[in-house]
Structure 1
Amino acid sequence: MPAHEEKVLVRVEGRLGRLTLNRPRAINALDHAMVTALRTALTAWEHDDSVAAVLIDGAGERGLCAGGDIRAISASARARDGAAAAFWRDEYLLNAYIARYPKPYVAFMDGVVMGGGVGVSAHGSVRVVTERSAVGMPETTIGFVPDVGGTYLLSRAPGEAGTHLALTGASVGAGDALALGLADHYVPADRLADLAAALAGAAGAVDVAAAVDRFAGEAPAPVLAGADWIDACYSAATAEEVVERLRGHGDPAAATAAAAVLAKSPTSVKVALEALRRARGLPDLAAVLEQEYRVSCAALDSADLVEGIRARVIDKDRSPKWVPDTLAGVSDGDVARHFLPAPDGPLGLAGPAVSGAP
């Protein structure tokens, strides 16, 4: 296959292993073959002393990665063929591997970084955002729930800002990505190529850190950090009360957030809220990924996932018909079933009690 047709470009420049997601027309959306290619390259470089660090970025001008290939997920959910679950299994195992990768793993989180794009970047050891970054977990928009370790990251963000992002599906820029723990460094987009060239000469973590510091700039101020309505509203006990508080707060941004939550799949909103709160009590990323795998597999049995993808990316009418169509219509049992064991068993990251290190 010619290099321009490969979905992941894999090469070594100096001492830097480079991975470029290469589906620019789809904003580099991940499919199963791409996950496999990433894992294969990372495994080889882990044991290659000539490679001192790894860099992942995205082809084209629009972003690192818009998420998973949700058209394929929809097709699998409709066919009930197990392909979606197999994709998630390997994807989540890759996310865990990135988090414990023994060499510096640098992610250029430039442009759109959504869903699965967060999974291949925000668990890395050196996470770089730019003035063009838009980082988010928009899964409730398509009748799904934040995954790829997203509930781990969002549950550990300061206050309730992560809950806000999970329920509304909103994205944040560089300033908030840094403040919320989704990224580490701000580098202007026009310096990324020079930074990549410098990384090619890095002999290890100290050199990588020095290179990033050399090209870093002053990050934009965060927007969510001073929004007192977020903690006041999203700390409510139930999703219904969250919306009630948002509507009654008085801040126009809170009212906008309420409307955003109410536009999402009610089932997804309630499951996402429960998943985040459970994630806060789990010990590590491995345990959270185990939980996410159970939740994701359960979502395949929900009509909302297929309907949300239809409305968003297939027919593009932006008018999903959620079932049930209100938060009140989602029972505690509807939520609880998402946390039952997955049909094909756990990922094997955290043991039978979903605890312990990867």
Structure 2
Amino acid sequence: MTALTLNDDVIAEVRGQVGLITLNRAKALNALSLGMLRSLTATLLAWKDDAMVKAVAIRGSTKAGVFGGFCAGGDIRFFHQAALAGNPALEDFFTEEYALNHLIHHYPKPYIAFMDGIVMGGGMGISQGASHRLVTEHTKMAMPETNIGLFPDVGGGYFLSRCPGRSGEWLALTGDVIDGSTAVALGLADQLVESARLPEAWDALAALDWTGPAPLDNWIAMVSGAARTDSAGARSLIDHYFAMDSVLAIVLALEADSSEWAQHTAATLRKRSPLMLHVVLEQVRRARGMTLADDLRMERDMVRHCFFTQHLGRSGATSETVEGIRALAVDKDHAPRWNPLRIEDVTTEMVAPFFDSPWLTHAHPLRDLV
């Protein structure tokens, strides 16, 4: 067993011929810090060129032990503090996080994500690129960024836009939570595994014989179960409403539908940042025709505008994102003061500049991604 100690919140070791990573920041639901991103990147780069490491697996931990929770996302409290303080580490965080997301999607060895418990935001960024995405009956998956005045980043435009029908728009705009079976049905996971079998599955990886044919296929067959019926039962409604041309058209049509699902969905959208709903719909629809690298570059542009929305004369405490984080995670009053207040008041002129890059092509922080 070989251990790499780069950060107390990331435990990395090699057992057998598999590199094993445990996210160890349980008190914060394994929310990703800049230090954790750097540890993950350094570890994956080291194992990428190590002939003794045949595959990589990643899991989360909880206060009760390993498994039970994967990763709740990026450290939004850090985002809030850094934005108010003008801390340049905020810029580094997103550049390095998106580069890590790209590395995982293009990793040359099997990368197995044990997506048990909460898998949200940045947790999706370090799992959606996996070659093997395992979920359980306890998985709670979401991209809830519109709830904090942000957008589904970490490649969210890329992987959500590739969900069947218009389920990507639905997940991106509402931030609704889905279970493991639904994640499999929507192409956001590959295998459903009983949570009780995760320790056995984890340990079995270290014992795999990599000289035989298809060792991971045999391992998957051993640990996986059948996914239950897709619980996104409103798929036809999702495809109908979330294919509409604009956020306003979607919301008005939902509000005109008296069904419980439509009324609940419309009410959810009315609580989100009106400005960012418009930005997110544009993001997902642009990303549908983009490569991952181009999507990540676009999202890097967008996140700069989220914290420094110069075209609206807003930055720091007055940005949608900082205000959204304040309301949800800092003051916890759950009463964000969105600007504009209503979906009806968002204009094209407010939305379009989010997609203008603040960098020249040769100077873009993610220019080397292909």
Aligned residues: 349
Q: What's the CA shift for 1:254?
A: 1.4
Which residue matches 2:222? 214
2 CA distance for matches of 1:18 and 1:238? Answer: 44
2 CA distance for matches of 1:250 and 1:349? Answer: 50
Superposed, 1:210-249 pairs within 5 Å as 210-224=218-232, 226-249=234-257
Which residue matches 1:310? 326
Q: What's the CA shift for 1:80?
A: 2.6
Superposed, 1:127-142 pairs within 5 Å as 127-142=133-148
Aligned residues of 1:179 and 1:225 also touching (Cα < 8 A): no
1 CA distance for matches of 2:84 and 2:275? Answer: 19
Which residue matches 2:364? 345
> Which of the residues 309, 319, 342 maps onto 1:326?
342
Q: CA RMSD in A?
A: 1.8
Does residue 112 (structure 1) correspond to residue 131 (structure 2)? The answer is no
Aligned residues of 1:65 and 1:114 also touching (Cα < 8 A): yes
Which residue matches 2:313? none
2 CA distance for matches of 1:296 and 1:171? Answer: 23
Aligned residues of 2:6 and 2:39 also touching (Cα < 8 A): no
Q: What's the CA shift for 1:264?
A: 0.4
2 CA distance for matches of 1:260 and 1:48? Answer: 47
1 CA distance for matches of 2:215 and 2:94? Answer: 34
Which residue matches 1:355? none
Which residue matches 1:300? 307
Which residue matches 1:16? 18
SS in structure 2 of the partner of residue 245 of structure 1: helix
CA offsets per residue over residues 286-333 of structure 1, 9 Å max, x none?
111111111111101252111110110111111111011111222111
Q: What's the CA shift for 1:248?
A: 1.7
In structure 2, give the amino acid aligned to 1:347. Answer: L
1 CA distance for matches of 2:336 and 2:187? Answer: 32
CA gap 1:62/1:211 in 2 versus in 1, 3 angstroms: closer
Aligned residues of 2:113 and 2:134 also touching (Cα < 8 A): yes
| Structure 1 consecutive aligned stretches of length 4 or more whose deviation exceeds 3 Å | 2-5
2 CA distance for matches of 1:288 and 1:210? Answer: 34
Aligned residues of 2:18 and 2:206 also touching (Cα < 8 A): yes
Which residue matches 1:59? 61
Which residue matches 2:180? 174
Q: What's the CA shift for 1:342?
A: 3.2
Which residue matches 1:354? none
Which residue matches 1:265? 273
Q: What's the CA shift for 1:114?
A: 0.3
Does residue 39 (structure 1) correspond to residue 41 (structure 2)? The answer is yes
Aligned residues of 1:287 and 1:349 also touching (Cα < 8 A): no
1 CA distance for matches of 2:260 and 2:182? Answer: 19
In structure 2, give the amino acid aligned to 1:304. Answer: E
CA offsets per residue over residues 195-219 of structure 1, 9 Å max, x none?
1111112328921221122111121
CA offsets per residue over residues 48-77 of structure 1, 9 Å max, x none?
111111000001155100000001111122
> Which of the residues 280, 285, 298 maps onto 2:292?
285
2 CA distance for matches of 1:333 and 1:5? Answer: 44
2 CA distance for matches of 1:212 and 1:105? Answer: 13
In structure 2, give the amino acid aligned to 1:323. Answer: N
SS in structure 1 of the partner of residue 21 of structure 2: strand
In structure 1, give the amino acid aligned to 2:109. Answer: K
In structure 1, give the amino acid aligned to 2:241. Answer: C
Aligned residues of 1:27 and 1:62 also touching (Cα < 8 A): no
Identity between Structure 1 and Structure 2 (%): 40
Aligned residues of 2:7 and 2:36 also touching (Cα < 8 A): no
SS in structure 2 of the partner of residue 257 of structure 1: helix
